[in-house]
Amino acid sequence: MKKIVSLILARGGSKGIPNKNIIDLKGKPLISFAIHASNKSQIQETWVSTDSQKIKTIAQNLGAYVIDRPTELAQDTSPSEDAILHFCNSIDFDILVFIQPTSPLLTNKDLNQGIDLLLNHQANFDSIFSVYKEHWIPRWNLNIKPIDWNPKERPRRQDIKENYVENGAFYISFKKNILKSKLRYSGNIGCIEMPLYRSFQIDTYDDLKLIKKLL
């Protein structure tokens, strides 16, 4: 039987919103939503990687295990992959579910769908990540130039193919693949679609206000 664990990266520093990972959201710390979704899923162990004693205490009180993240891996410029590899080299498991605490509308059902798809031998995926489906909308760059479309020949939305957009809620992969590729996803990649209204992430105070209305 494969050992499935989750990892939530939650460093103490945050420029956009101070202490973002534990900011109050409907009377609960933000990170509690990710921990709760993980604990209710088929994931066997929920882990939090942090450099903050306050986050560590909150995570443990919510039933998560904690791995202390080295200071050099908890800087503004530190790639998430470095902290993921630190975890992979420290903890025994077979499958990693990397959950971002900034996606509080993620559910245990989303996580279970992703895990089931990865374990489906007929699908034969090496990694899974969450997405939402985007209909075409006219996009402009900051110089007010259309991006990949011509205003003189404005297409109809229904005539343009839809795209998947990575929503950043979760990524699932086999440990052996992470260690080999040093990436959160690699090989034959599949996805789990989440609705747009549950794909919002909290990066700004405006995001926080929006999600408070959705909860």
Which residues are identified as catalytic?
Answer: 154
Q: Are 48 and 63 in contact (CB under 8 A)?
A: no
Q: Are 8 and 80 in contact (CB under 8 A)?
A: no
Among 25, 7, 55, smallest CA distance to 215 is for: 25
Q: Which two tokens stand for residue 50?
A: 């942090």
Q: Which two tokens stand for residue 79?
A: 């790639």
Q: Which two tokens stand for residue 123?
A: 């699908």
- Residue 157 one-letter amino acid: R
What 8-state DSSP symbol labels residue 41? S
The residue behind tokens 């900034």 is 102
What is the torsion angle, in degrees rounded to the nearest 10, for the CA atoms of residue 110, residue 114, residue 116 and residue 121? 160
Element (H, E) at 59: helix 53-61
